[in-house]
Amino acid sequence: MLNARALAATALLPLAANAQNQINMSTGISEAGAVITDLGAEIYGLHMLIFWICVAIGIGVFGVMLYSIYAHRKSKGVEPSQFHEHTGVEIAWTVVPFFILVLMAVPATSTLLEVYDNDDAEMSILVTGYQWKWKYEYLDADGENIAFFSNLATSQEQIYNTDTKGENYLLEVDEPLVIPVDTKVRFLITANDVIHSWWVPEIAVKRDAIPGFINEAWTRVLAEGVYRGQCTELCGAYHGFMPVEVHVVGQGEFNDWMAAKRGAAATDAALAATELPVDELMARGEDVYNASCLACHGANGEGGLGNAIAGSTIAMGGLDPHLNVIVNGVAGTAMQAFGAQLSDIDVAAVTTFQRNAFGNNTGDVVQASDVVSYKEG
């Protein structure tokens, strides 16, 4: 380890203070000593039980082997014995492991049944995996669903080593999932494109997000706090860059957050009905671009996984073809249909931005009403 640290010190940029090197599974207990989820603590216990059984067997097997290597070597002048079978011993080491396995299977079965107990949830959240972000939709009995996307918040500068990496490097998002404490939350998990997997180690929930199918998982988090995880199924180029961040808050704080979300949705709807000045559109468009476009099209529109936007014939040509690409995506490529992901006002803003940034000086201004009329054909 000294070696590794010495080498780390020679790196171009110092790493931020490292979190402690964790060497085992999340215990399901918070640093303050509170149980985070009962299930997480139970799974940790199961993990350690199997681990210690393996250690005990290992000590036996490796102990015999090491003793034999020490004592039964030719250089000690021993004569090799010629025994080569013993029915009793062979039956014993077939039967005894079988019973050890049964001992493991009993607690494993009961824990697994709990994992699958999705009944009696107090609220449901639809989690949808996209390349490369998560969408969270709070399902509401009155149909007033609240939905938003959760994008990686770590900057490209940190990823490409031109800026110091923050404490939660690659594990931070622009809009976290917020859930109330001590509430049974059911997750309905699916995907829009390829298979993803939604995982938060500390609350012990991992379930694949499969396009066209809906998986169920649940949690009841008992300790308020921030819990972080990542996508755990290879989902394309930026698989490593779609974290999960869950904020578990008190019921009151959750209600306030929900009210604020509803308010923001209403404001957006109102904005879409008005004409916004160019500078506001550009500012909003830049935010949307950074969250949704930058990963593939580059910080300066220079392209990357996607085509260049700077000087692009689409961004500088007619408005309808440009809106077509953004709203409907490009089939067979990683370019998604953002019409379903972004609000009309955001589509308008990012289109305006792309047509006037990176030297694309078309002077065009696109309003939400233009997007609405484009969508209506």
Partner 1 sequence: MGDHHHGPAKGLSRWLYTTNHKDIGTMYLWFSFAMFLLGGAFAMVIRAELFQPGMQLVEPGFFNQMTTLHGLVMVFGAIMPSFVGLANWLIPMMIGAPDMALPRMNNWSFWILPPAFLMLASTLLMEGGAPAFGWTFYAPLSTTYAPPSVTFFIFAIHILGVSSIMGSINIIATVMNMRAPGMTYMKMPLFVWTWLITAFLLVAVMPVLAGAVTMMLMDIHFGTSFFSAAGGGDPVLFQHIFWFFGHPEVYIIILPAFGVISQIIPAFSRKPLFGYASMVYATAGIAFLSFIVWAHHMYTVGMPVAGELFFMYATMLIAVPTGVKVFNWVTTMWRGAMTFETPMLFSIGFLVLFTIGGFTGLMLSIAPADFQYHDTYFVVAHFHYVMVAGAVFSMTAAVYFWLPKWTGRMYNETMGKVHFWVSFIGFNVTFFPQHFVGLAGMPRRIPDYALQFADFNMMSSIGAFIYGMSQLLFLYNVIAAIVSGEKVSDEKVWDGAEGLEWTLPSPAPYHTFETPPKLEKQPAY
Restricting to residues 324-343, name those near partner 1 by CB under 8 A: 332, 334
Q: Which amino acid is at 315?
A: A
Quick one: which of 146, 144, 121 has its CA closest to 135? 146
Contact (CB, 8 A) for 281 and 365: yes
H or E segment at 320? helix 319-328
The residue range among 141-149, 162-170, 345-353, 368-376 that interacts with partner 1, by the rule CB under 8 A, is 162-170
Residues 225-244 interacting with partner 1 (rule: CB under 8 A): 229-241
- Listed in sequence order, the residues at least 6 apart from 18 whose beta carbon sits closer than 8 Å to its beta carbon are none
Among 14, 34, 93, 250, which residue sits at the site for partner 1 (rule: CB under 8 A)? 93
Contact (CB, 8 A) for 195 and 210: yes
Among 14, 34, 59, 90, which residue sits at the site for partner 1 (rule: CB under 8 A)? 90
Of 238 and 257, the one with the shorter C-beta distance to partner 1 is 238
Among 14, 34, 50, 269, which residue sits at the site for partner 1 (rule: CB under 8 A)? 50
Strand order in the sheet with 184-191: 146-150, 133-138, 123-130, 184-191, 215-220
The residue range among 139-147, 163-171, 256-264, 364-372 that interacts with partner 1, by the rule CB under 8 A, is 163-171
Total of residues contacting partner 1 (CB under 8 A): 108
267 sits near partner 1 (criterion: CB under 8 A): no
Residues 173-212 interacting with partner 1 (rule: CB under 8 A): 193-195, 197, 199, 201, 204-208, 210-212
Least gap, CB of 335 to partner 1 (angstroms): 12
Here's the x/- map for partner 1, 296-315, by CB under 8 A: it reads as --------xx----------
Cα dist from 75 to 67, 68, 126, whole Å? 15, 13, 68
Euclidean distance between CA atoms 124 and 122, whole angstroms: 7
Give me the torsion for CA of 260, 263, 269, 271, rounded to 10°. Answer: -90
Alpha carbon 230 to its chain's center: 3
Contact (CB, 8 A) for 295 and 238: yes
The residue range among 224-232, 275-283, 337-345, 353-361 that interacts with partner 1, by the rule CB under 8 A, is 224-232
152 sits near partner 1 (criterion: CB under 8 A): no
143 sits near partner 1 (criterion: CB under 8 A): no
Among 33, 80, 143, 363, which residue sits at the site for partner 1 (rule: CB under 8 A)? 80
Euclidean distance between CA atoms 203 and 40, whole angstroms: 6
The residue range among 78-86, 174-182, 250-258, 312-320 that interacts with partner 1, by the rule CB under 8 A, is 78-86
Among 14, 72, 302, 361, which residue sits at the site for partner 1 (rule: CB under 8 A)? 72
Contact (CB, 8 A) for 198 and 205: yes
Least gap, CB of 30 to partner 1 (angstroms): 15
Of 335 and 349, the one with the shorter C-beta distance to partner 1 is 335
Least gap, CB of 162 to partner 1 (angstroms): 9
Cα dist from 306 to 14, 58, 297, whole Å? 31, 51, 5
The residue range among 93-101, 319-327, 343-351, 368-376 that interacts with partner 1, by the rule CB under 8 A, is 93-101
